[in-house]
Amino acid sequence: MENELRAIFRARRERRWETGKKSGPTINIQHRIGEIAQGIPAIDSRAWQRREKPAEKDYAISLLVDLSGSMQGENINETFKAVIALAEVLNRLSIKTEILGFNDRIYEYQRFDEQMSNQIRENMGGMLKEVHDSGGGDQKARWNDDGWALTQASDRLAHQKEAEKFLIVLSDGEPIESPIHPRKQYELSSMVAQIIKNTRQKLIGLGIGPNTEHVRSYYPNSLVSSDVSEMAENLAALIKEAIEHYERF
C-alpha cells in the first residue's frame, strides 16, 4: 500500500505541458493552426505552452473505531491489526492522521499533531483492553454512541487546515445511545446528514463482520467487511481509493 500511494503522489508531482497560455517558451502548433482557421491574430493567441506542476492534494484522515462490548473477539483483534498497520503507512507518508475509539466516551490514540511513536503504539493496545473490559456484563458494554462520537470526531477534523478530509467509522453494531448522549439529540442519520450538509468532510462507514448491512443505511459511502480476516486489505483498499479518487466520495 505504501508503494502504491507513493506512486500516486509521484505521478501528481510530475511536471506537464499545458496549452492555453498567452505566453510561454513553446507553442502548440496544432492549437495555433486551429486559431488561424478561426481568424484569431497572433497577439490574441492562446496556443502557448508552459510546464505546469499540478498541486498535490493534502489530506487529513480520522479513523473512529467502535469499542463497544460487541466488538469482542475476532472483530476487535482484526480491526486493531488493520488500524495499526494503516496508521504506520499513513505516518510514513506524512499524511495527517487521527485515531479515536468510542463507546459512550472518546478514547484518543493518536492526535493529528502527533507523529507515530512507541508510546502511541503502546497506547493503541488500549483498544483491545477497552473492548475486553466492556464485555464484562455491565451496562457500559451496551453503549454504542455512534452519532455523538461522529460529531466529536468531525469537530476535531474540522480544525485541520488540509483541503481534503476523510472521517472513516469502523463499527459492527447498530447505535445504542447511552443516557448521556440520547438518541433524540444524537440520532446517527441526522448527524451524518448535518456533517454532509455543513462540511466538506467525506464520511465512510466500514461495517465489521457479518450482519452489518445497516451501515449502508447510515453512510452514503460504505463498505461491509463481512469476513473480518480481510479487514486490513479492505481498509487499505478503501484508503487508496479515497486518496486516488477523492472526487468520487
For the chain, give the mean pLDDT. 89
Is the Cα dihedral 204, 237, 208, 133 positive or negative? negative
Q: Which of 26-30, 140-144, 159-163, 201-205 has the lowest mean pLDDT?
A: 140-144
Domains, the chain, ordered by start: 11-52 (no CATH), 59-248 (3.40.50.410)
The answer to whether the beta carbons of residues 85 and 190 sit under 8 Å apart is no
The cell numbers describing 173, all together, are 453494531
Query: How many whole angstroms separate alpha carbon 48 and alpha carbon 17?
Result: 10
Quickly state the pLDDT bin for 102 (edges 50, 70, 90).
very high
The answer to whether the beta carbons of residues 124 and 84 sit under 8 Å apart is yes
Query: Residues 228, 229, 234, CA angle at the centre, nearest 5°?
Result: 75
The string of pLDDT tens digits covering residues 159-216 is 999 989 999 999 998 899 999 999 999 999 999 999 999 999 999 999 998 888 889 8
Q: Which of 12-16, 75-79, 147-151 has the lowest mean pLDDT?
A: 12-16
- Residue labelled with grid coordinates 493552426: 33
Helical segments of the chain, H only: 2-13, 29-37, 74-92, 118-124, 126-134, 146-158, 183-186, 188-198, 214-218, 231-244
Total-model pTM:
0.81
Look at residue 183 and give its three-state secondary structure.
helix
- Decide if pLDDT at 136 tops 80: no
pLDDT on residue 22? 83
Rounded mean pLDDT, 132-140: 60
pLDDT on residue 244? 86
Q: What percent of the chain has pLDDT over 90?
A: 56
Burial of 38 (0-12, 13-18, 19+ CB in 10 A): exposed
- Residue labelled with grid coordinates 517558451: 25
Quickly state the pLDDT bin for 36 (edges 50, 70, 90).
very high
110 or 55, which is more confident? 110
pLDDT on residue 111? 96
pLDDT on residue 23? 85
pLDDT on residue 182? 96
- Decide if pLDDT at 7 tops 70: yes
pLDDT on residue 248? 83
Query: How many whole angstroms separate alpha carbon 90 and alpha carbon 159?
Result: 19
> What residues contact residue 113 under an 8 Å CB cut-off, 6+ apart?
none
> What residues contact residue 221 under an 8 Å CB cut-off, 6+ apart?
202, 203, 204, 205, 249
pLDDT on residue 52? 65
Burial of 75 (0-12, 13-18, 19+ CB in 10 A): buried
pLDDT on residue 147? 97
- Decide if pLDDT at 247 tops 90: no
Rounded mean pLDDT, 95-105: 95
pLDDT on residue 19? 78
Half-sphere exposure of 118 (CA within 13 A, CB side): 0
Q: What percent of the chain has pLDDT over 70?
A: 92
- Decide if pLDDT at 14 tops 80: no
